[in-house]
Amino acid sequence: MSARLPSVPAADRHYARLSPFTCGMRACCPRCGEGKLFDGFLKLAPRCEVCGLDYSFADPADGPAFFVICFVCVPAVIFGLWLEVAFQVPYWVHLVTTLPVLLLTCIPPLRPLKGWMVASQFYYRAEEGRLVTADEAAHATSVTRE
């Protein structure tokens, strides 16, 4: 049984398939690779100024913040706790060490992660999930078997 991938829209056929990771890190359009993805630090632009791709399909939601909290914030907080337990430093030391560590490790990754998630949604043609009725499931199964 082979699964069919959704067809590529006609407007996207003449563009090369770009890596979502590369587009996300460069914050460029996932279709043409030239236009800007953001209109500000984290606000998505309405559309690409080069190829006209409408970015309304993109909804990364809280994904970038989740990854930053799990992989960056937790170690930074552990650093602050270790500093307190090991050396019992005054509060001003935390202000000049722990706070900058938290800010410098948590804020900069948000933009590339959001860009990567938006580019991945375009690359894999992600859509909002929906419930499928029994009739639609039977029809989809019969189509993929042909």
* Rounded-to-integer distance, Cα 142 and Cα 91, Å: 67
The CA angle 18-19-24, to the nearest 5 degrees, is 105
Supply 77's token pair: 């907080």
Q: Where are the domains of the chain?
A: 13-126
What residue ranges in the chain does DSSP mark as E strands? none
Q: What is the pLDDT of residues 55-102, one digit of tens each?
A: 999 999 999 999 999 999 999 999 999 999 999 999 999 999 999 999
In one letter, which amino acid is 135?
Answer: D
pTM of the model: 0.80
Q: Is the pLDDT of residue 3 over 50?
A: no
